[in-house]
Chain A
Amino acid sequence: MQRIGVFVCWCGSNIAGTVDVVKVAEALKNEPGVVHSANYQYMCSQAGQELIKQAIKEHNLTGIVVCSCSPRMHEQTFRKTAAAAGLNPYMVEIANIREQCSWIHKDMAEGTEKAIVLGRTAIAKVNLNAPLTPGESPVTKRALVIGGGIAGIQTALDIADAGFEVDIVEKKPTIGGKMAQIDKTFPTLDCAACILTPKMVDVAQHEKIKIYSYSEVVDVKGFVGNFDVTIKRKARYVKEDVCTGCGLCTEKCPMKKVPNDFNLGMDNKRAIYIPFAQAVPKVATIDADYCNMLKNGKCGVCAKVCTANAIDYTQKDEFVEEKYGAIVAATGFNPISMDKFDEYAYSQSKDVITSLEFERLMNAAGPTAGKLLRPSDGKHPHTLVFVQCVGSRCASCAEKGKEYCSKICCMYTAKHAMLTRDKYPDTDVYVFYIDVRTPGKQFDEFYRRAVEEYGVHYIKGMVGKVSPEGEKLIVQGSDLIANKQLKIEADLVVLAAAIEPDKSARPLATMLTASMDTNDFFTEAHPKLRPVESPTAGVFLSGACQGPKDFPETVSQAGAAASKVIGLLSKDKLTGNPCVAHSDEMMCNGCSSCEKVCPYGAITYADKEFRGPNRTTLIRRVAQVNEAICQGCGCCTVACPSGAMDLKGFASKQIMAEVDAICK
């Protein structure tokens, strides 16, 4: 039997105004388990807390009920008070007689009666409370950033600058991501490479940062503070620590017809390559699909020309196991495939390109050395048509496009149109748009400049069909304002393709037990208040893997994710929430119902030996809850058909007792 103390707070006149506190204290005295009952003007004050501490010692209390304001207000206060007096803090229950009683009722009798019921309910619960101790777990002071684009780079730099070790895993041979492929950035028109590459160099030179390029995360185990991650280092057939990045091999390799994915296949590279001049790490990589030496055992030119002896044709995939305290997903985005949008003739004509391809065409380091030339015949285009929302806001075509707005297209299309008119005043540039969305600093001004200063023709309407005719592309679209159907003879058509999360995000989310939305974007712990954290503790989100973003937003989110990681890593130990699920092994039948509903993957199964009748042992599969991962929602307790699963602090018996007390 518990020895319970009841403390009724007046809260000045806030409670005492409509609740007869003396009467409440008196009435609750007779409840089972109650040995002491008191009332005081302000329980949360220093003097009020002293009153509680003294009573705990004097009456040897094992449980406390404070009838006061909402537990959301002062539960922590009174728990600390109890702990200071040597009582387990989880033996404290609050009866909310302010927000849910005195403040909403006007009648003294009514308020008093309800306050007594609420007090009785809390007493019924405390009678069944058990002392709880939050688990503690150590924190590995090292972070993993998955993805080496601008989001990953910024997150890693910020974490490393705070003094923690960071590893970046990037699946491509170099970090840099999409930003490295982009020519200029809106709305300031800074050269993307000029602002990105110094950051890449910072990453390479930072003593706290280690880059696993050409690598992938293949397995994640553990939980917040204690992740065990397996990283696959794909064989690049070049010794990373030996290669000097001189590039001689990439000039001498005889395999010249390898599509250059960095330029989106618009030109060719060799079978041994360095993606671009400022690559980090600046190390060559052999494309095993094209290398004659690896395929047929004939050639070996690169090994012969390499003065550093860095080529190693026998290299194998390596698996590295590392421990981390926090993981940041920064897997980024890709433009969607245009293959299914036949109406735009993307697969029929080389002169229909995506915006990212246009970006490479305008880039000085791109396939045309920055000259705007048609991919089909290398001629200078005079009429350009930009089509916005290709695959974005596409609700009916889930197999083709995306229902959401890709957010960045309006601005980069304005940028492309403006740059084209700026460099080549002899061009006619048309932009077909549904809406122009420019919420951002200096964004609308930028778009208006494209129209007013650079004379870009914005047409409210959509392109229905692009058909190649001879050298021209006939673009048929509607002009809704003129109420006309237009047929424009264009030389180049640029499609603002929707963006989607990188394909690697889905399997990664499964490994991390991080949740995703239907579009494969990572979901955040709270859409407004915790936008850079995943609901899975210890997993953070950076950049476009959480939703479409432009650079400034990506960089801010990267910094925010880093600050959350730093907050986590600067703790020596993590104190868990002790109100977690717990399975009674004797009752569990190992059915997996609980595992299926757990949103955190906190439940695992173990085969355990039990003593059977007649000195036999039998092995049964039983559920085990990892208390460090469990967040205490209690979903599993209801799913459990055998009643083995219960939630500490909110046990079924306790809630039933509360129900009984209310209905008494």
Chain B
Amino acid sequence: MQVNEYKPKIVAFCCNWCSYAGADLAGSNRLSYPAEVKVIRVPCSCRVNPMFILRAFQRGADGVILCGCHPGDCHYTSGNYYTRRRMALLFSMLDYLGIEKERTRVEWVSAAEGAKFAATMNDFVQTVTALGENKRLEDLRCKK
């Protein structure tokens, strides 16, 4: 495989009420973003256990992005506040472990922000592609 053909693996967690709907809106408006992004639907961004993110890196993901409702707009009142705190802690730990900060991101995308969703994903994929493959946390035993 040539270097310029490198395609990162990106996992995106999207909350059901805002960001997943935002992703759908991006689709309805035919706003393209790279196919490397695969979305997992969760009820709320606060459902995302830091374990899931570590698991993704362990399994060879190159970047993980977490999208939720804007602060104050959480469908469950306060879920995204917990997300914000938990991820701040997780990301600083990942940073400590030598995982580039740019590989992880939290973004607030509302159901009306299809364009923002697409732009965010384009930007994130570009950033992660520039960083190259994530090897540090990848568990080679998981590789076939």
Direct A–B contact in complex, judged by CB atoms less than 8 Å apart: yes
Listed in ascending order, the chain A residues whose CB lies under 8 Å from chain B are 70-72, 96, 98-101, 103-106, 110-111, 113-114, 117-118, 121, 515, 523, 526-527, 535, 579, 597, 599, 631-635, 637-639, 647, 650, 652, 655-656, 658-660, 662-664
In angstroms, Cα B110 to Cα A49, docked, is 32
Is residue B41 contacting chain A, with contact meaning CB distance below 8 A?
yes
Residues of chain B contacted by A656 (CB below 8 angstroms): 51-52, 55
Q: Is the CB of A663 within 8 A of B9?
A: yes
Chain B residues with CB under 8 Å of chain A are 9, 11, 20-21, 23-24, 26-28, 30-33, 35, 38-44, 46-52, 55-56, 59-61, 73, 75-79, 82, 86, 118
A-B contact pairs, 21 of them (CB 8 A): A70-B24, A96-B24, A99-B26, A101-B27, A104-B30, A104-B31, A113-B35, A118-B38, A535-B77, A579-B43, A633-B43, A635-B46, A638-B49, A638-B82, A656-B52, A659-B55, A660-B59, A662-B56, A663-B9, A663-B56, A663-B60
In the assembled complex, the Cα of A579 lies from the Cα of B43 at a distance in Å of 9
| B27 touching A100, Cβ below 8 Å | yes
Partner of A647, one of B21, B31, B43: B43
Residues of A within 8 A of B46 (CB): 597, 633-635, 638
- Given the interface pairs A72-B20, A662-B9, A662-B11, the reply to whether A632 lies near B43 with Cβ below 8 Å is yes
Ranked nearest first, the 9 interchain pairs of A and B with the lowest CB-CB distance are A99-B27, A634-B47, A633-B76, A663-B59, A633-B44, A635-B46, A103-B27, A99-B24, A599-B77
B50 CB contacts on chain A under 8 angstroms: 638
A-B contacts besides A100-B23, A104-B35, 19 pairs, CB < 8 Å? A96-B24, A99-B26, A100-B27, A103-B30, A118-B38, A515-B78, A633-B46, A633-B47, A638-B46, A638-B47, A639-B82, A647-B47, A652-B49, A655-B40, A656-B51, A660-B59, A662-B40, A662-B61, A663-B59
Q: Which A residues lie within 8 Å of B52 (CB)?
A: 652, 655-656, 659
Contact of B86 among A599, A638, A652, A658 (CB under 8 A): A638
Residues of B within 8 A of A632 (CB): 43
Known contacts A523-B77, A633-B79, A638-B48, A659 near B20 by CB under 8 Å? no
By a CB distance below 8 angstroms, the chain A residues around B51 are 652, 656
Which of A110, A114, A655 has the most chain B CB atoms inside 10 A of its CB?
Answer: A655
Q: How far is the CA of A650 from the CA of B16 in the complex (A)?
A: 12
Contacts of B61 in A (CB 8 A): 659, 662-663
CB distance B78 to A599 under 8 Å? yes
Q: How far is the CB of B105 from chain A (nearest CB, A)?
A: 16
A333 to B123 Cα, complex, angstroms: 48
**Is A117's CB under 8 angstroms from B32's CB?**
no
Q: Which residues in A have their C-beta under 8 angstroms from that of B33?
A: 104
Set of chain A residues within 8 Å of B38, measured between Cβ atoms = 114, 117-118, 121, 662
Checking A98, A515, A659 against B77 with a beta-carbon cut-off of 8 angstroms, the contacting residue is A515
Q: Report Cα–Cα, A105/B38, bound state, in Å.
A: 13
CB distance from B25 to the nearest CB of A (A): 8
**Nearest Cβ in chain A — how far from B15, in angstroms?**
9
Q: Is A597 within 8 A of B35, CB to CB?
A: no
Chain B residues with CB under 8 Å of A106's CB are: 32
Contacts of B28 in A (CB 8 A): 99, 103
Contact yes or no, B55 A660, CB < 8 A? yes
**Other-chain residue from B31, B42, B56, B76 in contact with A535 (beta carbon distance below 8 A):** B76
Whether the Cβ atoms of A597 and B23 lie closer than 8 Å is no
Which B residues are in CB contact (< 8 Å) with A597? Answer: 46, 82
Docked-complex contact B47 and A650, CB < 8 angstroms: yes
B113 to chain A, nearest CB (A): 14
Q: Tell me the smallest distance from the CB of A387 to a CB of chain B, in Å.
A: 32
Partner of B56, one of A515, A523, A579, A659: A659
Nearest CB in chain B to that of A514: its residue:
B77
